[in-house]
Amino acid sequence: MTDERKADILQRLKSVEGHVRGIGRMVEEEAYCIDVVNQILAIQRALKKVSSRMLDQHLHHCVTNAIQGTGNSQKEQILGELIQVFEASSKA
């Protein structure tokens, strides 16, 4: 992973972390429920973006390397992992 991509992902995660703390404060202060829900939705969107960037990284590097390699077991493992990710994402 490039330093730039890693920094981007870490920054996004720190932002999510800050938003989660903010939601905690909102709940403590008994903020309007819809405002809390809207903040939760924003966090979910931000996490989906992080997930998308991580999957992009995985596809362009890990999967590409495994497919170009000579080991069939590694290819099968990578394909199995991708299937698991897509199955899990369809349940979410």
Rounded to an integer, what distance in angstroms lies between the CA atom of residue 15 and that of residue 20? 9
Which residue ranges form the domains of the chain, and what is each CATH number? 3-91 (1.20.58.1000)
pLDDT of residue 51: 93
Return the pLDDT at 92.
66
Q: How much is the pLDDT for 33?
A: 97
Rounded to two decimals, what is the model's pTM? 0.80
Distances in whole angstroms, Cα of residue 48 to Cα of each of 31, 57, 71, 72: 25, 14, 32, 31
Task: Give the residues of the chain that fall short of pLDDT 70.
Answer: 92
List the Cα angle 78/48/6 in 5-degree steps: 70
Give me the residue label for tokens 């394909």.
79
